[in-house]
Amino acid sequence: MIPSPEERTWAAVAHLAPLVGYFLLIGQVLLPLAILFLGPKTPFVQAHAKESLNGQISYTLYGLGLFLLALTVVGIVVVYPLALALLALVLWNMVRGALAAGRGEVYRYAFILRLVP
């Protein structure tokens, strides 16, 4: 079944809303969670909201790990390239997910934990 334009829009927003959420404390996780619970209950939108939520939870955990690594002497040298790589991965997956949603396709983020089934 081909998703409607409204469903594709909701799915794309699920991927891009965390960009706004990064300006709020833990908002990058709350916005996909809100779309999951308050948005349309269609399988297409739910799949994209869950994927975005899993990605944002994973990226938050990775960022916390980088922060803890930065507290060590070795981490100070290593954390900057890893943080840039994480930022590139986050943006890459969010944009690719939104573009796939706009085309009516399902997208799976790379290098994330699938905590929300």
Model confidence band, residue 19 (pLDDT cutoffs 50, 70, 90):
confident
115: in domain: no
110: in domain: no
112: in domain: no
Q: Which domain holds residue 17?
A: 5-103
108: in domain: no
pLDDT digits 0-9 by tens, 56-84: 999 999 999 999 988 887 777 889 999 99
85: in domain: yes
51: CB partners within 8 A, 6+ apart: 14, 15, 97, 106, 107, 108, 109
Distance CA 90, CA 62 (A): 11
56: in domain: yes
Q: How many domains does the chain have?
A: 1
114: in domain: no
Residue 10's identity, in one-letter code, is W
19: in domain: yes
- What pLDDT score does 73 carry? 77
Of 27-31, 77-81, 93-97, the range with the lowest mean pLDDT is 27-31
What's this model's pTM, rounded to 2 decimal places? Answer: 0.90
- What pLDDT score does 52 carry? 95
- What pLDDT score does 26 carry? 73
Give me the percent of the chain exceeding a pLDDT of 90.
72
